[in-house]
Structure 1
Amino acid sequence: MPATNQTPRTSACGLPLPLATDFDFRAYRKTPAELIAPDDMSLREKNADNCLVERANDASLRLTRAYEAAAGSSAGVGDLDVGARLQPFFSYSEEEKALLVASKDVVEASGPLPLFMTMWIAGQRVLVAKGEAEEKKKRDESKANPAGQMLKGAMPAGPTHRISSLATSDVELPNAFLGCLVQKMPIPLHWWTNSNLRKVNDNPHWLPWKELTIEGKKLVIIMTDKAEKIVGDADDEFKSLTPGKWREASINFARALRIVSQEVPADAPAGWSNPAIEYEKHIRWRRIFGTEC
């Protein structure tokens, strides 16, 4: 009986079947880089498209894993084939991510969400809840046994005249930053912006820190050498600070100095000074307020 010629089969990946023994399954299962969504693409559209891509990719991965398992068995691959090439997802902007984490209403209004995004949001909310719980615990412990009192007035003072206070800010100053000042550990000015302070307050583990015991009292400080890899070192200050951010960071730094510096005595002699007073004078010299304060 004459032999019949079979047409070679082509895999979904574009190669002839059966695939070569050195086929890189790990690379084939890797999701492509995310796509930047068009400016007019709504969050709901993005979620819907990503859900479709996720379902298609999941189906493809099941076929690819089945082929890989068969290729490594004695039975062989038979008529099996790998799944189609994985498709890229549309990326989410930082603003969209923040809204999805902060608001369940936004999640419901723009959903359903792809599973990978739902898992990411859940993880972020766990981190936020953990950070809030730890911060509350610290506040409660501070009220019961105010170890933070050692921060107040801990920086030595020297002899200028009293000047009026700076503008206030509603951003809480992290104890770890204050602890660095008490220990005379320099912190780059751009670390003191509102956004960086909020990140530390919202997630206490955003920057690495350690606890010291000084005269029987605990003091928290930032591990600046490791934190510089996250926030940048002093050389990054001028790249990071616009005039407005310089003013914002300077105000926060001055507030911190005011907390840790020795208070102005009621009978302070002429020329008496402390670090907070000196830095406020420096800010005035830079004329960032426009008028004398």
Structure 2
Amino acid sequence: MVQNSRCGLPLPLTASFDCVAYTTRPADIPALPNMTLPEKNKRNVAIEAGNTKSIDYTRAYEAARATTAGVGALDVGAPLLPYFEYSDDEKAMLVRSSRLVDAVGPLPTYMVEYIVTEQIRVDAEETTEKARVEKERADKEKEKLKANMPIIGTMRKNNPRSISSALSAPVTIPAVFLMTMGHQIMLPLHWFSNNILRKANSNPHSVPMEWITAQQTTALVKPPRVQVVDLTKMAKLHGGEEAWKAMTPSIWEECSKNLMAALQQLSVPQDPNNPEPTQATEYALHANFSFLHSSTLLMIT
């Protein structure tokens, strides 16, 4: 006589029997008419106990099937029974009221897990909402505080910039510019604009450089190698000798003053009792004449 398995199939079960699908929880079924919440919990707890026992049998069978010894007299568990479903209102009440849980319990494990998961989600939403409300309240307080503050004297400029280069603070001449001029390498006038000089001071790598050997001053000492402006590369960045034609009168005056400052640093200070012309004094004569001439033209026009 053929003996049947708990699942209803003849023993032995075939190797294709799907233990995973067999232990999958079936869909819940509607509750019986007039079934109270305590009764539903009691029935579901009993169903869960039977299902757990059945799953244990099936998993033991599956594990034995994977060994060389085989399943022997083992069998899978009974088919899993469906649970009685909880309504949305019942779930909401159980999530929100621990007293109700205690009063109608015990609950099946899967329902306890659901309640804990929902409580964590609700707590997170409430925390987010509280933070949003608190931020709105703080923002309103800030706006109210701003509205009550006096407005006279509140508009201030922290980093003022001159509207004219003539009013700007003196610009430091970069050391590499001075080194280049000191070795009789003249730089185009428009390279002495405030913008180029400031950029060279704040970012020395923006100025292309090259190494040259300094002029021989004595036969006994080998002249050192020094860094100067690479004229070819600098001209590609800021224009060569012909670019001065595009300068406005104010930029020309700005560059001339900066060039004069560089020449003054490189020249020997004049002795009032024995004045000797220097490149700085000679350039000052031409520059001052040009400044005066351009100012006169502006006054006439």
| TM-score, length-scaled by structure 2 | 0.45
Query: Which structure shows the higher helix fraction?
Result: 2
Q: Which has the larger radius of gyration?
A: 2
Indicate the structure whose relative CO is greater, using CA pairs within 8 Å and at least 6 residues apart: 1
